[in-house]
Amino acid sequence: MRRFFLLLVLVIGVYLAKPLWEEPVSNYIDLSFLDSVDEKIESVMGKESVTTTMSSIRNTVNQVALYITSKSSEVEQLIPEKVDKPELDKPQQSALSIHNIELGTPKTTVEAELGEPKNHSLNEYGTEWFTYHEDYQNYVMVSFDDAWNVNAIYTNDDLIASSAGIQYGSSKEDVRKAYGTPLTEMRKGLNVYVLQENEGMDLFKTGDHYTYVFYDVHQNYTVTAVQMITTSLEQRKKEMYADGDVSLRNGFEQQLFDLTNAARVRHGRSILRWDDAISETARKHSLDMADNDYFSHDNLEGQSPFDRMKADDIAFKRAGENLAYGQSSSIFAHEGLMNSKGHRDNILIEEYSHLGIGVAFNEKSQPYYTENFFSK
């Protein structure tokens, strides 16, 4: 009887969850990175019963998925040697500094502090992110203006210094005590963009720049990343979404790959290798979702991520997929995935060895992100 009940719960869970992801996405933009079916069921069952019942269903489905896609094996992993953190000084001109770099810092000073960049790629502001790290430790992304002075900077590492004492791991309450009430909207030309409370982020306007503070919702809403950007660069981007082209697609893919590895290394995991073949699989799925206006792990032919990998002759011992839609940048997509437990768990699975990223844009320039993880 107990086995029958568990089987019934599993069937109900799959039945209820599947239609949620198969609905067209043209009617909404998911900026809060929600990936649960709680709200759909809550109106029928009531909030308290949803929490318990959906937890049981999720655990059952997750275990089945891992069993289907896993085989025990020895996986060659790239575990980096730990590097030292830099000594951090309080900023001289900005509210915050990252790795002793502030907005306005010349490129020569940046490279004296950080060394040569590992790569550079187009971002949504029309400039490039120059990426600096040591085996994805001390990870920093920097953008420069036409005079080669810093006009944007980001980190998701313990490299933040502030005259107010804010640093990596500070609480949301301490951040707001230091910098006041966060913005609830941003005006760009004739457009006003409303910022949602549940995005896991605060936005502050300080002098001539904006500061995005990202929180880790799984660590009591403590600071996990910061992006600072000059007002002139922020306002240069008039719309929420930049025009999607091949260069921006390649930029988002490179950035999301690097951000994912930086998060893995920060949490004691191995560095994933880029895989061209599975990146093409991921890109095709993003393009299919963008062209056909849906958002689902299963495509319109009913193929799962694992079916698509096998169809592309990709052999794997373990595999997984993360999807995101509607986030205006690779940074927002990554931070949202890390704040969604299922996606976060997938990012941090120890046994993965390779990763492919695929990005595509719909006719409104809204990006679709697909991450395909696997171990060979």
* Segment 204-243, tens digit of pLDDT: 998 899 999 999 999 999 999 999 999 999 999 988 899 9
Do the beta carbons of residue 235 and residue 188 sit within 8 Å? yes
Q: Residue 288: name the closest of 236, 360, 225, 221 by CA.
A: 360
62-115 confidence digits (pLDDT tens): 323 333 344 444 556 788 889 899 999 999 888 899 999 999 999 999 999 999
What is the bridge-based pairing of β-strands 160-162 and 96-98?
antiparallel
pLDDT of 178 above 90: yes
**Whole-number pLDDT of residue 92:** 87
286-309 confidence digits (pLDDT tens): 999 999 999 999 999 999 999 999
**Whole-number pLDDT of residue 187:** 82
In whole angstroms, give the CA distance from residue 146 to residue 209: 17
pLDDT of 139 above 50: yes
CA distances from 310 to 317, 319, 320 (A): 12, 11, 13
Average pLDDT over residues 151-177: 96
Cα dihedral sign, 277-336-329-229: negative
Q: Out of 10-14, 127-131, 134-138, 273-277, which region has the weakest mean confidence (pLDDT)?
A: 10-14
pLDDT of 36 above 60: no
Most confident of 181-190, 199-208, 353-362: 353-362
In whole angstroms, give the CA distance from residue 69 to residue 65: 6
pLDDT of 13 above 80: no
Do the beta carbons of residue 106 and residue 148 sit within 8 Å? yes
pLDDT of 339 above 70: yes
Look up the pTM and report it: 0.81
pLDDT band at 38 (very low <50, low <70, confident <90, very high): very low
Backbone angles phi, psi at 45, to 5 degrees: -100, -20
What would you report as the CA-atom Rg of the chain, rounded to the nearest whole angstrom?
21
Q: Out of 34-38, 82-86, 362-366, which region has the weakest mean confidence (pLDDT)?
A: 34-38
Average pLDDT over residues 150-163: 97
Do the beta carbons of residue 266 and residue 338 sit within 8 Å? no
pLDDT of 133 above 60: yes
What is the bridge-based pairing of β-strands 185-188 and 191-194?
antiparallel
Average pLDDT over residues 235-252: 93
> One-letter amino acid identity for 73?
S
Number of Cβ atoms within 10 Å of the Cβ of 267: 12
**Whole-number pLDDT of residue 56:** 27
**Whole-number pLDDT of residue 81:** 85
**Whole-number pLDDT of residue 120:** 98
Cβ neighbours of residue 284 closer than 8 Å, sequence gap 6 or more: 308, 358
Q: Out of 62-76, 165-179, 345-359, which region has the weakest mean confidence (pLDDT)?
A: 62-76
- Tokens at 47, concatenated: 């909030």
- Tokens at 99, concatenated: 């790795």
